[in-house]
Structure 1
Amino acid sequence: MQGHHHPPPQASVSPSLPLPNSKGYDMAKLFSAKLTHISPVWYDLKSDRNMLVLEGEHNFDATWVSELQGNGSLVVPRVVLEAFPAVILLEKMQKAKAIDLIVSECRDKGYDGIVLESWSRWAVYGVLDDPELRYMALQFVKQLGEALHSISSKSSNRHLELIYVIPAPRMKELSNQDFGPEDLLQLADSLDGFSLMTYDFSGPQNPGPSAPLKWVQHSLTTLLSAKGSSPSGNHSRMIFLGINFYGNDFLLSRGSGGGAITGRDFVHLLEKYKPSLQWDEKSLEHFFIYSHEGVRHAVFFPTLMSLSVRLDEARNWGTGLSIWEIGQGLDFFFDVL
């Protein structure tokens, strides 16, 4: 699915329900032919006193992984870096240990690589505001990528891959906590892709669309603006543009509140309240308003039209897609991929 077709997507699968009941796991098997990478959210790298521990091995399902790889998809579980940054970034032996734990787990379980999430944690710990620590953080990601590249995948003729989760820039002026174009250039040669989180634009405190198209465009323009990077170059092809398959149900009165909903919730609300679906010309997303016990709600949820607009944008830039997450949407969403 390259060239003039839709860009190749990767998908995230959350183990929020026990196997094999989770819809995401079933969707991964059913639509694996449309997915280049499948990323189960399985692992956390944590600090335990003076030790590093990779938690999540109990989630591993050898049969499921083997079936997906047999269909041609790469299985790259997500690893969330929960460990104290000072332990990994400042202590040379612990840095080597962290990398070894991840690489060894990939080798032992037959994975095709990993998806690493650490940037948001580093922002919370203040790592990104310290120039020296920020440099060390980027070096850690580079070294992990190089270590994975030194190992061959058992299921393909490729090296193990590293895809890095990055936040979407929100403001025109980037702060230290933003992942910017220079960061992308610094990591590009050591990584295989960047999973760009172009969703969650709004929240309970500021109800609204999940991914306004202008924000998506701004994020791509910003990240690909550095010298040596161009929309037609290799770097745009390294980006997996985030697409949400979930929606949000926000409270509009009696204070703020609400949160994420799945396709099942969306259908239930449509059947119960029979609201009128409206198209927001500004964000290019569908939404509806309903009232429950005197409280007004706004529901934003993806539709085939809103998904098609964003897939067209990805095609225009030459990026891939990153779906969060495939068990949370409506089954027919896969028709547009």
Structure 2
Amino acid sequence: MSREMEYDGIVLESWSRWMAYGILHNSDMRNLALQFIKQLGEAMHSVNLERNGKTNLQLVYVIGPPRTDKLQEHDFGPEDLQALYDAVDGFSLMTYDHSSPYNPGPNAPLKWIRSTLHLLVGAGSKSRRLGEKIFVGINFYGNDFVMSGGLGGGPIIAHEYLSLLEQHKPVFQWEENSAEHFFLYSDNQNVQHAVFYPTLMSLAMRLEEARTWGAGISIWEIGQGLEYFFDIF
């Protein structure tokens, strides 16, 4: 289908599903899962395109970031990255959704992005080579979290964000540890909220971090951001 529709390839997300079904907790099943991705990439690379500057179909594989400083058995780690390096054209790293309504805070702390990259590609001469196949995930959505009267809230996109600005005219604050802007407001029930949403400054710092590692970026997702976000790319 990719060839018939003149696509350049596919983006595959399966690791999170395999983790949910317990496949990655079994070493034999995990090896079979890695072998599947490898064979898929090799099969796609065998298809000749000769268009759009590409010579074959490409495979981009979606990976989630480790949630702790120490890799768990189900995490996609540096050994997995190296095992699939030749078969996969890029790894879309989901460095967002760091916080949730149950743990409100910044969307994608810069220190967390940096530590995730260090965990995956390491340091030294090999890190640049591995980093070149990483697409650092950058969120174009934000979050509106309830901070009092019970936890709650969730993702917001551009028009919802602009509506909050117009209605509450908040004062922006810079959170140094995460390198993200946020603002506080109280709704009509007098419940306090904290809104974290990308700004040109936060985006610029994440782009610079990606450049440091020789990495690209992947955006989730373009239509959820403000139009002037593209001025910085």
What TM-score comes out, normalization by structure 2 length? 0.96
Measure, in 2, the Cα distance between the counterparts of 1:252 and 1:296: 5
Structure 1 position 250 matched with structure 2 position 145 = yes
Alignment of 1:128-139 (within 5 A): 128-139=24-35
Q: Which amino acid aligns with 1:273?
A: H
1:169 aligns with 66
Measure, in 1, the Cα distance between the counterparts of 2:207 and 2:183: 23
Q: Please provide the CA RMSD for this pair.
A: 1.3
Structure 1 position 282 matched with structure 2 position 181 = no
Secondary structure, in 3 states, of the residue corresponding to 2:82? helix
1:221 aligns with 118
Q: What's the offset of the Cα at 1:169?
A: 1.7
- Give the one of 283, 294, 299 matched to 2:190: 294
Secondary structure, in 3 states, of the residue corresponding to 2:4? helix
Structure 1 position 263 matched with structure 2 position 158 = yes
Q: Which runs of 5+ in 2 are unaligned?
A: none
1:236 aligns with 131
Q: Which amino acid aligns with 1:315?
A: R
Q: State the percentage of identical aligned residues.
A: 58
Contact 1:241 1:322 in 2 (8 A): yes
Structure 1 position 201 matched with structure 2 position 93 = no
Secondary structure, in 3 states, of the residue corresponding to 1:240? strand
- Give the one of 33, 36, 44 matched to 1:140: 36
Contact 1:111 1:153 in 2 (8 A): no
Secondary structure, in 3 states, of the residue corresponding to 1:173? coil
Measure, in 2, the Cα distance between the counterparts of 1:107 and 1:323: 24
How far does the alpha carbon of each residue in 1:154-194 deviate from its partner, in whole angstroms, 9 at most, with x for none?
63242100000000122121111211000000001101000
Contact 1:182 1:226 in 2 (8 A): no
Q: Which amino acid aligns with 2:56?
A: H
Secondary structure, in 3 states, of the residue corresponding to 2:218? strand
How far does the alpha carbon of each residue in 1:53-81 deviate from its partner, in whole angstroms, 9 at most, with x for none?
xxxxxxxxxxxxxxxxxxxxxxxxxxxxx
Structure 1 position 115 matched with structure 2 position 8 = no
Measure, in 2, the Cα distance between the counterparts of 1:122 and 1:242: 21
What TM-score comes out, normalization by structure 1 length? 0.67
Q: Which runs of 5+ in 1 are unaligned?
A: 1-104
Q: What's the offset of the Cα at 1:109?
A: 1.5
Q: Which amino acid aligns with 2:217?
A: L
